[in-house]
Amino acid sequence: MRGRDLSVRTVVTTSLGHGIEEALAAHRAGEVPVVMSGDGLIGQVGGALAETGATMGIVPGGRGNDLARVLGIPSEIAGAVEILAAGEARQIDVGEVNGKRFLCIASMGFDSEANSIANRARLVRGNLVYAYAALRALASWKPATFTIRFDGGEERELRGYAVAVANSKAFGGGMFIAPDAELDDGRFDVVMTGEVGKLRFLANLPKVFKGTHVDEKDVTVRQASTVEVSADRDFAVYGDGEHLSDLPARLRVLPGALRVIAPAGGPPR
């Protein structure tokens, strides 16, 4: 960053809370907070900076790096710094679940169990941790019944695997669970995966990396700006890979609430 004539000071964070405090203090001091981490810290700092008028920079430093992937920020440090130096501020939406904010995707059901396994995994490195976690979760999975209400009106009951409320396209290290979601359209893409045999679910899993799973008959996608979700058993709600809340959950979009430094002209298509 100094090689690009950017004035910089470094803070090593000790927790999510510490990272949030330091980012808010930097914004109040007229600085631009830049987060070098994974989606968890980026999501929490971004959520705290939302609606403050702050601009946030991102240097990918985690296992998944899905927000950077969708924004078109390179995973290599030199490329990410180039965006900080030459990019532009882009307004993006922020999601909120039971008062807790997230930037990418909040999911529940099968995804809750897979996220929990992934966060405990220590021996599996890189993006493989998410595939490993999905296989582990599938072994003991039993279908659940979800009740989903869209924009305070239409209600739907779903028997199956999971509900993903997507502000962005990807999670889990490149799984394009909501391939048509946009970060700046003021709406969630709600991806609902219904009941299907485990072997078929496993066979369809690779399609998530290309986003073609949404063409399967057991997958339904709806758009809404507020979503309420409950289930017939307890599930944690994970947002940006972090355990943010538990069901029942009410989710809403905060349109254009955060500015992030992104490639000029938008991400490559």
CA-closest candidate to residue 236, choices 88, 125, 84, 119: 119
Between CA 79 and CA 40, with CA 36 as vertex, the angle to 5 degrees is 125
Catalytic residue among 96, 113, 228, 242: 242
User: HEC states along the chain?
Assistant: CHHHCCCCCCCCCCCHHHHHHHHHHHHHCCCCCEEEECHHHHHHHHHHHCCCCCEEEEEECCCCCHHHHHHCCCCCHHHHHHHHHHCEEEEEEEEEECCEEECCEEEEEHHHHHHHHHHHCCCCCCCHHHHHHHHHHHHHCCCEEEEEEECCCCEEEEEEEEEEEECCCCECCCECCCCCCCCCCCCEEEEEEECCCHHHHHHHHHHHHCCHHHHCCCEEEEEECEEEEEECCCCEEEECCEEEEECCEEEEEEEEEEEEEECCCCCCC
Is residue 245 within 8 Å of 107, Cβ to Cβ? Answer: no
Active site residue 242: yes
CA-closest candidate to residue 108, choices 256, 196, 231, 254: 231
Tokens of 86: 């030459």
Which residues carry out catalysis?
242
